[in-house]
Chains A and B, each alone.
Chain A
């Protein structure tokens, strides 16, 4: 372990704090709440101190190494970009934690929420501070799993389903990323971001295909968390079902961890590589447009915001793509990407907390139900408006600055292409998609704003209760939300003072240079892009949302309708069937088949005996049995004949020469002896026992025995005759033999 221990502290202090807070929470909930606030505050203050040190002193970035950690070691660094994003993260955690106290007041399982919230803070810090892709990966995985608990916090069926999707994407993404890391490590021999660029240069010629593959795998993993098309499926589902403070962090911070990874890969492996840039650009354009389109159609407050997040990630990816395409002159793209990341984090923090305030009071998010809630609530309106203006890219708000930079980057590339005589049609189209997406952002934010703060609810009674609700948030929630809202215009009004400096601080991470000339954000050329978007937005709002996406109900009042076809859902249409049905069915079927018919008991007990049994029984019946039975029958016959020959002789003699005479059969016995003996025994018995009981008479018993003896003697007598006869025959035979022999 060596280096600056404050980096280690930033990553592990919240994790240790989370466990302490859990134990405290089992004892006292109030103390736990304060303790959690304290942990986040300490974390925030630490990073703020480091932030000011980094931005004022021009020192070498802080580093920390723990070589024995988890095999390949833990490598942390705190350069400008990392300290900037660490600060943003800590800031977001601070405000959401403050807001959490009121938001979760009536929730179950709060202890679990705080445990995983603080753990995720540590893991997120780890991701942003990591100097080595291996370290990034470890913290990234921890973050994926701990944030799963946020998504399913409410434990409703929708939340569980969204959580399932989230987990599946996280697991698959993590594994694919790991494979990318393996390939990268095999190709270059290092995962250290500092050493990666020269290492890649050294092997680029021979191994570029492998590097592209590993890059694609890693971007798959990071992009899954960022909500990149086509891995965005979890995002519009998971963000709305999570509790609002968690949604703010999921949308604002966790997606940025994915973007951080994509940036790390892009600027350290594919620095200024146009092929790579082109593909990222294309994915970015699709994500940007699709997200905005989904948001326009959505009629759920948090879902709209979630889709908007996806769209903004698309904007950021467009910037990343432009960094590669522009090559050496990518200053605008670098700064635009960076600032848009920061802006989006801060804006989504504000917007999701406002949505949380609405949900906290109404427990509804459907636009028709919450319509008119914000009327006569100026602070709530202010907070939402700041976020809406910011994300809509309205001049003087922060989103405008970063979108302008991104737009300028596209314009610059188109000009460059034109200058070199290339075909500019594609990038002209991209520019227009960019502007239209910006327009759609304005349109859906207007939709939300008008719905919440301008229109009245269709239900008059409801509107009345909404209007009367003055006590809709606690002091501390109010401070947190309004504070998060105030940051946005402050940044937007003073772009040269604040945002340019942030960009200077962070651009080193992407190997960006300061721009050749200062960008005049409020010059006509730059304002024009913003104004076109606003015009498109106004047009879309009036002509599409107010007409096509609203319908009159039975009472003749206009309602928001969900016009997006239910069936058109990438997850349910493609991914779920693939993972849930196809894989298990195909593999399962193959293995069950093998199992059942080849190696199982039935195979041994049924199939084998049947097959061999049939063969043997055929042999048995038709080939073996006939001769055997013939042989056996003949043999039996012959032996019978042979053995009964003597009997036949005797029977023959008896019928002929020795025929018995027909005399009367005499009475066998007179039974006198038996009778006498029996009577005597009976008397004796009676005398001996004296118990007066009847005893069976011995007479019958003795008579039976006597008769048996007499009969046996008769048989013996008869047999003697036969015996003598046979002896005589024998003697005669001997006599004949002797005569013949002599």
Chain B
């Protein structure tokens, strides 16, 4: 079992969600976040004062998957989230020791 974490641009969320459904992913958790990598921030002005804001709004998506489809999941996200401009984001995969569905008590691959 794997945890796929992706940081994408907020307006790409719906496209990524649809692409994930197409490869068979049935659930995900989404968090609003802020961050930067190579993308530079921007300047904001309030009452004459300039502020250099480094953090850019992003969306973090977490998906639990079986090992078998991990590559397809990563590929689907990458394709849907890509714009070609700096700040498109990153995807990483981490191993998961155990998963449990709270309602039924199922664990392991059945819980995904």
Do A and B originate from a single complex?
no
What is the interface of chain B, defined by CB distance below 8 A to chain A? Answer: none
What is the interface of chain A, defined by CB distance below 8 A to chain B? Answer: none
